[in-house]
Structure 1
Amino acid sequence: MEKKIVNAYFALAVVCVVWGTTYFAMRIGVETFPAFLFSGIRQVTAGLLMVLILLLSGQKITISRRDITRQFVAGTLMIALGNGVVGWAERYIPSGLAALIVSVMPVYVVLIGYASGTDRKAVNAHLVIGLLLGCIGVALIFRDNLADLGNTNYFVGILAAFFACFCWAAGTVYTKHKPSAAKTLVNVAFQLTSGGLVLLVGSIFLDDYSELNTVSTDSIWALVYLILFGSLASYGCFLYALKHLPSGLASVYAYVNPFIALLLGYFFLDERLTWVTALALTVTLCGVYFINKSYQVKRIRRTTSLKT
């Protein structure tokens, strides 16, 4: 296996673990901090730090106007409308549930790729089975939350999380099929900064700044953690994995993240965890297996066809 592919799998593993903890950190952060301002500060700071790191390491920041536009679109979709809206939704729904909703993202990735004609050949029986199992896993979790849908804020939070999930999936497909000629870390810097700026502008119209008078120390530490690990380190890993792995495979982190988020929410935020969650875990991990299997089958077929 090529070294780049091995590194891509390692980067994907980092994303699976670290992004699972970000739902927990975001829940703590937005509890006392204006949600969009919180995410905007997080992403802009991480983006500027990335630029600083690149400059201090002697690397040239070279990027074309076309690629700047592409990174702005990707940053708006994934950072602002994706990650930022999820953070806002966590003011009204548990962090574990937010992560579970985002786990349907691979379904969106496949559907968007198929509808746009960019990834129709990737669909096979294994992939369909894997995506269906992932959806069943999410449905099992909702079995314990149906009664809460009568709460307006809770329902709006769920809708917002689904919208954010769709935007992140659209950004994933866009980034995969509109690649930038710039280096990965340069793309990271531009996506984080542009998405963060969109969030800061949105914050002016959507946030209540009076909440700044009651910001807790825990929220500040959550912000620091998310800047350094949730954005700066793991987002670079995500873009690297996305560049060297199929978009459907690179998105399987969305199946692992919810269970890390659920466990953290259960132990530290008193969020509910039942036997249904354990069943959902089993079903969803089976889905991950089939998704991985689908791309292995695809690679084997492609290699065989080339040899013949």
Structure 2
Amino acid sequence: MDKKTVNAYLALSVVCVVWGTTYFAMRIGVATFPAFLFSGIRQVTAGALMMAVLLLVGQKIAISRRDITRQFVAGTLMIALGNGVVGWAERYIPSGLAALIVSVMPIYVVIIGYVWGNERKAVNGYVLTGLLLGAAGVALIFRDNLADLANTDYLYGILAAFFACFCWAAGTVYTKHRPSSAKTLVNVAFQLSSGGVVLLLASLFFDDYSRLDAIAPDSLWALLYLILFGSLASYGCFLYALKHLPSGLASVYAYVNPFIALLLGYFFLDERLTWITGLALMVTLSGVFFINKGYQVKRTVS
């Protein structure tokens, strides 16, 4: 295993841990902050800070018009329609449940990649088994939440989270197969900024600005955490992992994030946690193992 691959696995580990905490932070943030405005400020600020850091260290911001367009598409799919819509959904559903829904994302990635035609050879028995186990883990969690679907707001939150999950998966596959020739951190800055601008525009139509008078300090602290760690640090790690690992493997963080989110929600937000969650944990992590194994087999054969 070469150095870049090792670094990619380390970057993926950071994503697995930090992004698990972001669901908790978003839940706190949107509790008193207009959801799209909250996410838009977060991403635009993170993108601007990333650009400033690059300029301060003497990094040349070199990117073509084609690559700017590609980063705008990726930023819209992953940052605005993916992350931003999940933040809106967390106004109505628990943070742990939102993370669990997003954990089906590797299934979408493999399906979209297969339809796209670029990663059909990557789908083997191990990968299929892993995806099925991951889906089974999510299904176990939903066993405790079916009755809540009668609540209209709750149902809208569920549907929004699934939509966001699909958009993030589409952005993941798009980024993998429409790579930019610019440096990774330059791509990060443009994706965060473009996605943030789309969210600020969405805020004008969907947010209730009367809530601005009631923003709590906890929401502001959550915003600061998400800017520095949820966006700046971990998003760069994600793009690095995506560049050097297969998209299906780079997306397995979605299996780990829910359990970090569930634990934080249970201990600090009084969200429900049952024995089924423990069973789902074992089933889902088994799915992670099989997906990893499937991609290792593909690389060996190749």
Superposed CA RMSD: 0.3
How far does residue 118 in structure 1 lie from its aligned partner after superposition? 1.5
- In terms of mean alpha carbon deviation, does 178-187 or 110-119 score higher? 110-119
Matches within 5 A, 1:22-33: 22-33=22-33
- Separation in 2 of the partners of 1:241 and 1:174? 15
How far does residue 86 in structure 1 lie from its aligned partner after superposition? 0.1
| 3-state SS, counterpart of residue 180 of structure 1 | coil
- Residue 216, structure 1, aligned to residue 222, structure 2: no
How far does residue 111 in structure 1 lie from its aligned partner after superposition? 0.4
- Residue 177, structure 1, aligned to residue 177, structure 2: yes
- Separation in 2 of the partners of 1:71 and 1:202? 19
- Residue 199, structure 1, aligned to residue 164, structure 2: no
How far does residue 153 in structure 1 lie from its aligned partner after superposition? 0.3
- Separation in 1 of the partners of 2:220 and 2:163? 27
Cα-to-partner distance string for 1:48-70 (whole Å, 9 max, x where unaligned): 00000000000100000000000
2:132 matched to which residue of 1?
132
How far does residue 299 in structure 1 lie from its aligned partner after superposition? 1.1
Q: TM-score, normalised by structure 1?
A: 0.98
Q: Letter of the aligned partner of 2:38 in structure 1?
A: F
1:306 matched to which residue of 2?
none
- Separation in 1 of the partners of 2:195 and 2:300? 38
1:68 matched to which residue of 2?
68
Matches within 5 A, 1:12-161: 12-161=12-161
| 3-state SS, counterpart of residue 180 of structure 2 | coil
Large movers: runs of 4+ above 6 Å: none
How far does residue 300 in structure 1 lie from its aligned partner after superposition? 1.2
Q: Letter of the aligned partner of 1:205 in structure 2?
A: F
1:291 matched to which residue of 2?
291
Q: Letter of the aligned partner of 1:238 in structure 2?
A: F
How far does residue 294 in structure 1 lie from its aligned partner after superposition? 0.2
Q: Letter of the aligned partner of 1:243 in structure 2?
A: K
- Separation in 2 of the partners of 1:74 and 1:84? 13
Q: Letter of the aligned partner of 2:8 in structure 1?
A: A
2:251 matched to which residue of 1?
251
Cα-to-partner distance string for 1:251-276 (whole Å, 9 max, x where unaligned): 00000000000000000000000000
Q: What percent identity do the matched residue pairs reach?
A: 82
Q: Letter of the aligned partner of 1:137 in structure 2?
A: G
Cα-to-partner distance string for 1:209-247 (whole Å, 9 max, x where unaligned): 010000000000000000000000000000000000000
- Separation in 1 of the partners of 2:156 and 2:200? 22
Q: Letter of the aligned partner of 2:162 in structure 1?
A: F
Q: Letter of the aligned partner of 1:278 in structure 2?
A: G
Cα-to-partner distance string for 1:136-195 (whole Å, 9 max, x where unaligned): 000000000011010000000000000000000000000000000000000000000000
2:162 matched to which residue of 1?
162
- Separation in 1 of the partners of 2:181 and 2:207? 36
Q: TM-score, normalised by structure 2?
A: 1.00
Q: Letter of the aligned partner of 2:117 in structure 1?
A: G
Q: Letter of the aligned partner of 1:150 in structure 2?
A: A
Size of the aligned set, in residue pairs, is: 302
- Separation in 2 of the partners of 1:129 and 1:117? 20
| 3-state SS, counterpart of residue 32 of structure 2 | coil
- Separation in 2 of the partners of 1:120 and 1:164? 24
Q: Letter of the aligned partner of 1:233 in structure 2?
A: A
| 3-state SS, counterpart of residue 46 of structure 1 | helix
- Separation in 1 of the partners of 2:194 and 2:26? 20
- Separation in 2 of the partners of 1:177 and 1:115? 13
- Separation in 1 of the partners of 2:71 and 2:78? 10
How far does residue 27 in structure 1 lie from its aligned partner after superposition? 0.1
Matches within 5 A, 1:216-295: 216-295=216-295
- Separation in 2 of the partners of 1:49 and 1:4? 26
How far does residue 116 in structure 1 lie from its aligned partner after superposition? 1.3
Segments of 5+ residues of structure 1 without an aligned counterpart are 303-308
Cα-to-partner distance string for 1:70-110 (whole Å, 9 max, x where unaligned): 00000000000000000000000000000000000000000
